[in-house]
């Protein structure tokens, strides 16, 4: 197509994306891959039809204004007229492209009942969760046989929605391989692109490439995300130190003699999340420290406290545990408040089901920033070369959402609350009340005692970690006189 200066021709990766007929296309990866131009051209496929309607969504008003400026240059040679507030692009045929942005509180639902044959969503990872994305694309449909409904998304790794986007597009089948959703029967595809796929930018602004490559020396994770489009590490990631093959282990069976604690984040339509963690004492070459292993997860929606209570008891029974084997379950403080209609609190409903919850359910610390910082400590490396905190494969939602947490833009010490943080919240509640000791300081000396050799951890991932643990489990580790101090506080 023509713009104001010359004829636009797609580069090979853009051409590949423009030829796809999957229902959902995610195009992008690193910065400078030609995503925006690809989306602008993709929207023109159908403008010959007077009934053609398309929708473009961007993150906020400023980003939308930038897109509209570029759209004017692309579409005016095609006879398009631009109206504003919000921008509407009308072609001489009668075809229309409307625009919107996500800062509007009703952005995900305001288009319900509309019909858009094409929908362009830029910076997809700015949508916090998959539910809102599905609400949005529900308006992408067609009653016109010659106009196939299709969604074209662009993004870089990172952002509050990084986790669900990665799961939906990147992980399901691999790059450039179509995936058929078994539930909907609809297809989708992820097409990665880097700046190397955009020679126009490389040739016209070689210093930009150098700028991206320079990040390797100052921030290697940012370089991987912006230069390589690496979805395993990204700008804004809160827990960059989390590594799947290091912090996760195979299914783990806890010892009753050790301290068992839990954390609970209540949700009805949002996910309910509860996790159980074993704390053991480790001795290694004169140092003594605690190791936490989160071994069980309960996660879901639309259940009453009684139902969750039954599930909790059933899950921990699989580990030969009962509620009596648990020291406490730290919870969101709000579950102890009665309803506005003076109805029973969530906590009281758990207690009605089983009186043992009366002593188990405890309010968690309200300190968010300190709680998140504490998890950094537990994710660090202990003297034996393993992390202080390990997570079992039985906790897939925690493993999925913890590395996807991002910094709040306005309060960088905190997690962005728009993302899916229910499982990490449950862990933050319990770990804020566990003592973490930096054994590397060398001030903790093991006083002796009966030694029982631990089982060697099996690690998930392609790289197997082979370490001689020389680690030991000690009885009565919650005893303040054990030489390391009380675990719980």
- Torsion angle (degrees, nearest 10) of CA 65, 70, 75, 79: 70
Cα 84 from Cα 63, distance rounded (Å): 14
H/E segment holding residue 340: none
Q: Which of 360, 363, 366 shows the shortest CA–CA distance to 325? A: 360
pTM of the model: 0.74
Quote the distance between the C-alpha of residue 269 and its chain's center. 18
The CATH class of the 244-482 domain is alpha beta
Cα separations (Å) of 381 from 128, 288, 297, 468? 31, 14, 24, 15
Cα 226 from Cα 358, distance rounded (Å): 50
Q: Which of 218, 125, 112 shows the shortest CA–CA distance to 169? A: 125
Contacts of 380 (CB under 8 A, 6+ apart): 241, 387, 388
Cα 408 from Cα 270, distance rounded (Å): 20
Q: Which of 424, 417, 174, 202 shows the shortest CA–CA distance to 294? A: 424
- For residue 456, what are its two tokens? 């060697």
Domain-by-domain residue ranges, the chain? 12-204, 244-482
Per-residue pLDDT reduced to its tens digit, 239-269: 989 998 899 999 999 998 899 999 999 998 8
Q: Each residue of 7-43: b (16+ CB within 10 Å) or e?
A: eeebbebbebbbebebbbbbbbbbbbbbbbbbbbbbb
Q: How many CB atoms lie within 10 A of CB 297?
A: 21
Token pair 């759209």 in the structure block, residue: 71
Cα separations (Å) of 66 from 41, 115, 193, 222, 235? 16, 25, 21, 24, 22
- The stretches of 219-264 forming alpha helices (DSSP H) are 220-228, 244-247
Per-residue pLDDT reduced to its tens digit, 121-152: 999 998 888 888 998 999 999 999 999 999 99
Q: What is the largest CA-CA distance in the chain?
A: 86
Q: Which of 93, 197, 86 shows the shortest CA–CA distance to 147? A: 93
Q: What is the pLDDT along the chain (489 residues), one digit of tens a residue?
A: 444 445 778 889 999 999 999 999 999 888 888 888 899 999 999 999 999 999 999 888 788 888 888 898 889 998 899 888 789 999 999 999 999 888 766 677 788 788 999 999 999 998 888 888 998 999 999 999 999 999 999 998 888 888 889 989 999 888 999 999 998 999 999 999 988 888 888 888 888 888 888 888 888 877 888 888 888 877 788 898 999 889 999 999 999 889 999 999 999 888 999 999 999 999 888 888 999 999 999 999 999 999 999 999 999 999 999 999 999 999 999 999 987 777 899 999 999 999 999 999 999 999 999 999 999 999 999 998 999 999 999 999 999 999 989 888 788 899 988 888 999 999 999 999 998 888 776 544 333 333 323 333 333 332 333 333 333 233 333 333 334 556 666
Q: Check: CB of residue 34 under 8 Å from CB of residue 196.
A: no
pLDDT at 141: 94
Q: How many CB atoms lie within 10 A of CB 317?
A: 11
Q: How many CB atoms lie within 10 A of CB 240?
A: 16
Question: What is the number of residues in the chain?
Answer: 489
| CATH 3.40.50.300 is right for the domain spanning 12-204 | yes
Q: Which of 486, 422, 437 shows the shortest CA–CA distance to 263? A: 422
H/E segment holding residue 443: none
Per-residue pLDDT reduced to its tens digit, 431-464: 999 988 887 765 443 333 333 233 333 333 323 3
Q: How many CB atoms lie within 10 A of CB 136?
A: 23
Q: Which residues pair with 473 in a beta bridge?
A: 452
Cα 115 from Cα 107, distance rounded (Å): 15
Q: Which of 257, 300, 465, 467 shows the shortest CA–CA distance to 396? A: 300
Phi, psi angle pair for 463, to nearest 5°: -100, 115
Cα 37 from Cα 70, distance rounded (Å): 9
Q: Which DSSP state fits 184?
A: T
Q: Check: CB of residue 202 under 8 Å from CB of residue 210.
A: no
């Amino acid at each position: 197509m023509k713009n104001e200066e010359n004829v636009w021709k797609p580069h090979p990766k853009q051409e590949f994306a423009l030829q796809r007929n999957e229902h959902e296309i995610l195009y992008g990866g690193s910065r400078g891959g030609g995503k925006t131009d690809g989306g602008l051209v993709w929207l023109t496929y159908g403008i010959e039809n007077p009934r053609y309607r398309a929708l473009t969504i961007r993150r906020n008003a400023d980003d939308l204004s930038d897109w509209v400026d570029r759209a004017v240059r692309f579409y005016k040679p095609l006879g398009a007229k631009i109206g504003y507030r919000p921008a509407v692009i009308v072609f001489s045929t009668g075809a229309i492209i409307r625009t919107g942005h996500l800062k509007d509180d009703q952005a995900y639902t305001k288009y319900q009942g509309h019909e858009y044959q094409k929908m362009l969503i830029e910076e997809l990872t700015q949508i916090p969760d998959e539910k809102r994305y599905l609400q949005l694309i529900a308006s992408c449909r067609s009653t016109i046989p010659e106009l196939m409904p299709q969604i074209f998304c662009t993004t870089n790794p990172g952002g509050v929605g990084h986790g669900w986007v990665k799961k939906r597009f990147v992980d399901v089948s691999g790059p450039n391989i179509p995936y058929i959703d078994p539930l909907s029967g609809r297809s989708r595809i992820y097409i990665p692109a880097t700046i190397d796929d955009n020679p126009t930018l490389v040739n016209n602004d070689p210093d930009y490439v150098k700028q991206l490559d320079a990040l390797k020396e100052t921030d290697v994770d940012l370089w991987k995300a912006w230069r390589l489009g690496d979805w395993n590490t990204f700008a804004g990631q809160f827990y960059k130190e989390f590594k799947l093959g290091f912090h996760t282990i195979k299914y783990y069976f806890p010892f009753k003699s050790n301290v068992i604690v839990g954390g609970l984040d209540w949700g009805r339509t949002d996910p309910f999340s509860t996790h159980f963690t074993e704390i053991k004492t480790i001795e290694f070459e004169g140092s003594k420290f605690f190791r936490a292993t989160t071994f069980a997860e309960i996660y879901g929606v639309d259940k009453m406290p009684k139902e969750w209570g039954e599930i909790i008891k059933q899950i921990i029974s699989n580990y030969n545990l009962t509620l009596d084997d648990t020291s406490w379950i730290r919870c969101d403080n709000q579950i102890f408040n009665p309803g506005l209609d003076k109805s029973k609190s969530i906590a009281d409903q758990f207690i009605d089901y089983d009186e043992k919850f009366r002593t188990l359910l405890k309010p968690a610390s309200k300190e968010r920033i300190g709680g998140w910082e504490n998890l950094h400590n537990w994710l660090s490396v202990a003297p034996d070369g393993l992390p202080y905190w390990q997570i079992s494969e039985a906790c897939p939602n925690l493993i999925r959402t913890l590395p996807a947490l991002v910094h709040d833009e306005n309060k960088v010490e905190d997690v962005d609350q728009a993302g899916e943080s229910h499982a990490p919240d449950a862990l933050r509640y319990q770990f804020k009340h566990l003592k973490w000791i930096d054994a590397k300081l060398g001030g903790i000396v093991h006083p002796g005692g009966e030694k029982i050799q631990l089982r060697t951890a099996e690690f998930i991932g392609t790289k197997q970690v082979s370490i001689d643990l020389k680690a030991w489990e000690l009885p009565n580790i919650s005893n303040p006189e054990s030489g390391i101090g009380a675990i719980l506080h």
